[in-house]
């Protein structure tokens, strides 16, 4: 592997965030090399969603730095210790895209409009080109024949696949998934995980918050266990999930296995 491949697309240092007196993130470091998949696990309330939201400019961190780079476009570096402008937040959003737990599709738009809204209205790409690309992406996840359907006509699994395509159509450098399958009926989980697996094989750079340990073991290059706003343990999936070193990690995994 060449050194440039290993250079991190995402580099986060000392990310902090409080809501009032509640310190939710207490200094998070995160490196995601290009084309790699990082799985974020941890108990509910540990701050996983907040990490993703900070990386997508949906939440303004109190401190720390976020650097996103690669693809020859130059590095975007935001220092939240100082003042961060609206323009910088928009640049961050432009480079990362989020797939939500509850899909959050636009209910008043067709599947195709959901996917092309960002490319056409925000990124100002030519309509025909954006539609072509959207149709190609929808075909890939097996939903081309649903392009004129409205979200309410789709199953949860189909909606989430549209959610993924909507994110891909923005051509982000970084894909963020927040428990993409936890709102789905069990029989629909496989389809969505299958799509994410294909994306990993294609070389998309991803951070995935998930409770699907089997999936994390298979997919993730690195697993990060968070608790109470800090990273407790990190390492290759096989190590963190099979032989966790920290007691808190062990307890969490035990409880998770127990619940299923």
User: Rounded to an integer, what distance in angstroms lies between the CA atom of residue 106 and that of residue 121?
Assistant: 14
Distance of alpha carbon 45 from alpha carbon 32, whole angstroms: 23
Q: Give CA separation, 150 vs 14, 130, 197, in Å.
A: 42, 19, 26
**Can you tell me the distance from the alpha carbon of 230 to that of 47, in angstroms, rounded to the nearest whole number?**
8
Contact status: 19 vs other proteins (CB under 8 A): no
Tokens of 158: 């189909």
Contact region with other proteins (CB under 8 A), list: 89-97, 154-162, 212-220, 234-242 = 89-97
Total residues binding other proteins (CB under 8 A): 25
97 contacts other proteins (rule: CB under 8 A): yes
Q: CB-hemisphere CA count at 13 Å for 159?
A: 21
Which of Mg ion, ligand ADP, other proteins, none binds 245 (CB below 5-8 Å, type-dependent)? none
Cα separation values, 66 from 58, 63, 80, 250, Å: 14, 10, 8, 30
In sequence order, which residues have a C-beta less than 8 Å from that of residue 21 and are 6 or more positions away? none
What element of type H or E holds 174?
strand 174-178
58: contact with other proteins by CB under 8 A? yes
In the window 110-129, what residues touch other proteins (CB under 8 A)? 117-118, 121-123
The residue among 35 and 229 lying less far from ligand ADP, judged by its C-beta, is 229
Q: Which does 50 bind (CB under 5 to 8 A by kind): Mg ion, other proteins, ligand ADP, none?
A: ligand ADP
Asked if 49 interacts with Mg ion (CB under 5 A), we say yes
Distance CA 137, CA 126 (A): 17
| Binding of Mg ion by 210 (CB under 5 A) | no
Nearer to ligand ADP, 44 or 128 (CB): 44
Q: Does position 149 bind other proteins by CB under 8 A?
A: no
Rounded to a whole number of angstroms, the minimum distance from the CB of residue 254 to other proteins is 32
Helix (H) or strand (E) holding 222: strand 222-227
Binding site for ligand ADP (CB under 6 A): 19, 22, 24, 42, 44-50
Among 25-33, 46-54, 60-68, 108-116, which window interacts with Mg ion (CB under 5 A)? 46-54
By the criterion CB under 5 A, which residues form the site for Mg ion? 49
List residues near other proteins by CB under 8 A: 56-58, 90, 93-94, 97-98, 100, 102, 104-108, 117-118, 121-123, 150, 152, 166-167, 170
């Amino acid at each position: 592997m060449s050194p440039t491949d290993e250079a991190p697309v995402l580099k986060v240092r000392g990310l902090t965030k409080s809501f009032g007196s509640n310190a939710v993130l207490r200094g998070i470091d995160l490196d995601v090399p290009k084309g790699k998949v990082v799985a974020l696990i941890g108990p509910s309330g540990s701050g996983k969603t907040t990490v993703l939201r900070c990386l997508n400019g949906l939440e303004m961190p109190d401190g720390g730095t976020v650097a996103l780079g690669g693809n020859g476009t130059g590095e975007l570096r935001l220092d939240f210790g100082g003042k961060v402008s609206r323009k910088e937040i928009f640049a961050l959003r432009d480079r990362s895209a989020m797939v939500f737990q509850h899909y959050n599709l636009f209910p008043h738009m067709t599947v195709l409009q959901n996917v092309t809204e960002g490319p056409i209205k925000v990124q100002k790409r030519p309509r025909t080109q954006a539609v072509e690309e959207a149709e190609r992406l929808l075909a890939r996840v097996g939903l081309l024949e649903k392009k004129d359907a409205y979200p309410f006509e789709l199953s949860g699994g189909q909606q989430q696949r549209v959610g993924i395509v909507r994110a891909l159509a923005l051509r982000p450098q970084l894909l963020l998934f927040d428990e993409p399958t936890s709102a789905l009926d069990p029989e629909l989980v496989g389809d969505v995980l299958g799509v994410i697996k294909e994306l990993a094989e294609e070389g998309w750079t991803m951070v995935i918050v998930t409770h699907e340990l089997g999936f994390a073991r298979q997919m993730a290059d690195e697993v990060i266990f968070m608790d109470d706003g800090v990273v407790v343990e990190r390492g290759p999936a096989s190590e963190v999930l099979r032989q966790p070193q920290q007691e808190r990690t062990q307890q969490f995994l035990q409880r998770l296995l127990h619940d299923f």
